[in-house]
Amino acid sequence: DDDMVMATKQRICRRTIVDTKSVRRRKRCTWIRSSLSAKTDAPNAPFSRLAALLAPICWASGAPIARALLSTAQPLPSSALVASRFAVSALVLAPLLAVDMRKRTKGEEFATEGLFRAAAELAFYLFVGNALVTESLRACGAGHAEFVVNAAKAVAVPSLAYLVGIRVSKATWSGAAGVMAGLTLLTGAQGAGGATLADVGLLLAALCFSAHTQRMSVHAAKFDALPLTVTKLSMVAVMAVTASLARGDGSAISSAVASKEVLLLLFLSGAISVAGGMMFQATAQRNVGAAESQIIYATQPVWAALYAWAALGETMGGQEILGGAVILLSSALSSAWDAKDSEA
């Protein structure tokens, strides 16, 4: 009798463990599904798609500004440049947040419960991603890095969604394929050389940026764009400034910011490239899912090339022009296809 009782208890215990694991597995799957699920049926989706397009246009302006900063008499170290851009972006948006808070009446306050935890998560992805890209650029060219990061981001989000059982539209898959082809053409003329270790760093950076895009779809639906963006950028700025000072960049920063030209360029980079781009992203992903958004964000290299041509006088060959056209066309057709399906 005692043996039967003991065997019964063991069976109950094993069944409880299996049930507990199943519940945890379902919770993880639910978390991933919620972070990747599209919201393209929302009424403000058309405006959100426009915001999604404006985000990479803002981000792309950072490349020519960074090149201008690095060509000054006292160029900033790469880590100090990243820290300065995020610090300026937080300072630019902070007064706007203060004004917005003052205008709100009682009962209209934005949600704050969980805001700092959400911002910290997003800030971590951004900080690690930017740090990996900065270090990888020491061993490979900028064109190669641009291709690896953007190509990986273009396929990472829809692939992850497919792997966890979320339906990914044909429009998104087609857009990802078109973006890959366009990126190959756009950056192929710059060569595909690069160290293997650098490629690993770039792929890890792309995963961080993809995670940021995925989780933004969840957090942007819960919090207003301005407080979420300001809190996130402030946290990235603290992380980046701390890392930069730890590397001994303090004297280089103080010497560089003494120049009015450097201060102006830092302001433009922080205000337009970082603050503007992040605000548009937070606004866009309140209604547009991560997978579709990423296809639109993949147009960033095209705008960067156009900025370099207009501001720095860099020339674009026929292959680069063709690659840019393929990216823009693929993104536009994919977005229009998704919009038509969501209205059906």
Q: What is the DSSP string of 22-75?
A: HHHHHHHHHHHHHHH---TTSTTHHHHHHHHHHHHHHHHTHHHHHHHHHTSSSP
Q: How confident is the model at residue 144 (pLDDT cuts 50, 70, 90)?
A: low
Averaged pLDDT, 21-38: 50
Q: How confident is the model at residue 89 (pLDDT cuts 50, 70, 90)?
A: very high
Render the burial of 69-107: b for 16+ CB within 10 Å, e for the rest: beeeeebbbbbbbbbbbbbbbbbbbeeebeeeeeeeeee
User: pLDDT: is 198 or 282 the higher one?
Assistant: 282
Give yes or no for a contact between 88 and 269, defined as CB atoms under 8 angstroms apart: yes
Lowest pLDDT segment from 53-57, 180-184, 206-210, 283-287: 180-184
Give kind and range of the element (H or E) at residue 227: helix 225-246
Lowest pLDDT segment from 66-75, 118-127, 235-244: 66-75
pLDDT computed for residue 142 by the predictor: 63
Q: Is the pLDDT reported for residue 195 higher than 80?
A: no
Averaged pLDDT, 148-164: 77
Residues 314-340 pLDDT 10s: 777 777 788 888 888 888 888 777 766
Averaged pLDDT, 55-67: 84
Give yes or no for a contact between 52 and 64, defined as CB atoms under 8 angstroms apart: no
Contacts of residue 344, Cβ cutoff 8 Å, sequence gap at least 6: none
pTM assigned to the model: 0.75
Question: What gap in Å lies between CA 259 and CA 211, rounded to an integer?
Answer: 37
pLDDT computed for residue 232 by the predictor: 94
User: pLDDT: is 214 or 24 the higher one?
Assistant: 214
